[in-house]
Amino acid sequence: MSFYSCIAGMRCAKCQKEEPVQYGQTTCECGGPLMVQYDLERAKSQVTVTDLIHRTQTIWRYHELLPILQVDHVVSLHEPMTPLIAVPEYGRKIGLPSLLVKDEGVLPSGTFKARGAAVGMSKVKEMGLKHVAIATNGNAGAAWALYGARAGVAVTVATPTNAPITARKECVISGADLFTLDGTIGDAGVLMERMSQQNDWYHVSTLHEPYRLEGKKTMGYEIAEQFGWSVPDVLAFPTGGGIGIIAIYKALAEMREMGWIGDKLPRIALIQSSGCAPLVRAFEKGVKSSAGWEDADTIAFGMRVPNPSGDFLILDIVEQSGGIAIAVDDSDIMETRRQVAELEGLHVCPEGAAALEGVRQLRESGWIRAEERVLVMNTGSGLKYIDQIEGDGQLVEPSTMKLSVGR
């Protein structure tokens, strides 16, 4: 008998307690995040890497390894397999001529947050829930608002007042209830938790429920498939809450157990902004949890997460992978963003630019070797942050314009 999903249960990432799948699950009773577990033997008997060739190139091609039980419950805006884009000019400039970027900006809502929203909202629909609440730095709220509109589920979003205007406007136009507050994403999370308890809403902020991570996990499956069922030597990920790293490594672990990939996994290069780098500081101190970050401030707003709730998981992955964590300055982020646009025609978001700048520095230091296969995650479209770009061109009178204009 074939199943749309091979979901088998839950396991707490903190205390390792196992429990069955239940309606409206959030976190373990110990407070730890729940991770979806699958019957991987059943999954690999139902689908092979060869079978995937004939499937539509969306995140749902991996449905046996996603938590949605019935295809009728899928909420989709057509989430494509995102491309690997070679950046040879920039790569040669920094000593990595084979450098690749995985461009998540082509997803609905313009960021990788669409993956988590698609799978998370599908599970919300499957459970028959009517209202979700989310704290966000902007892009996750925008994605959940759009998918909530698609599913007919009410969405309440809380975000800092200085979150990117594009994301806030997406929430509004999608019909979500948007609350802004002076503070950080952590403050927004406190508000959403309180309102969720008072109103019986389903709280879907980072690691408050188990399904959003499963959507982001599809990045890992795509990477392995696009690399011919192998992995890059180095994976550079711009990191705020860090769920992307957790999700990708969960996917790689599942594929390794099913025999889809070998034992080798990529070294993780965790990149943060120097204006908010709690995970980098913890990594440098050799500790397993972060102490928070005072006065967090960065133009890469998606990385402005002073107290990442999954810190213990992220830091363990970086260490186990033989990886590294470094911080880059905002001025370098903006310069790299400009260079990549000018050299490659690729308009990355500031978070993606941070990862590219981190790779440049790691190549310069020798941590990355010239011959290594390096993949950088660009987590969103640069159009999400268009207001950061200075300059509007030159104002001229048409009658005075010359026939040729040189630079």
Q: Is the pLDDT of residue 402 over 80?
A: no
Q: Is the pLDDT of residue 389 over 60?
A: yes
Provide the pLDDT for residue 108.
Answer: 96
**How large is the average pLDDT for residues 4-23?**
96
Provide the pLDDT for residue 390.
Answer: 86
Q: What is the mean pLDDT of the chain?
A: 96
Q: Tell me what percent of the residues of the chain surpass a pLDDT of 70.
A: 98
The model's pLDDT over 118-169, given as tens digits with 9 standing for 90+, comes to 999 999 999 999 999 999 999 999 999 999 999 999 999 999 999 999 999 9
Provide the pLDDT for residue 80.
Answer: 98
Q: Are strands 177-181 and 154-160 parallel, antiparallel or unpaired?
A: parallel
Domains of the chain: 7-76+111-203 (3.40.50.1100), 84-106+217-388 (3.40.50.1100)
Provide the pLDDT for residue 3.
Answer: 76
Structure tokens at 130: 């009517």
| Sheet order of strands, 267-273 included | 84-86, 100-103, 374-378, 234-238, 267-273, 324-328
In SS3 terms, 277-339 reads as CHHHHHHHHCCCCCCCCCCCCCCCHHHCCCCCCCHHHHHHHHHHCCCEEEEECHHHHHHHHHH
The model's pLDDT over 321-363, given as tens digits with 9 standing for 90+, comes to 999 999 999 999 999 999 999 999 999 999 999 999 999 999 9
Q: Is the pLDDT of residue 407 over 70?
A: no
- CA–CA dist 194, 315 (Å, integer): 29
Backbone dihedral angles phi then psi of residue 283, each to the nearest 5 degrees: -60, -45
The model's pLDDT over 111-122, given as tens digits with 9 standing for 90+, comes to 999 999 999 999
**How large is the average pLDDT for residues 283-292?**
95
Q: How many helices (H) and strands (E) does the chain have?
A: 14, 13
- CA–CA dist 375, 219 (Å, integer): 12
Provide the residue type at 316 as one letter.
Answer: D
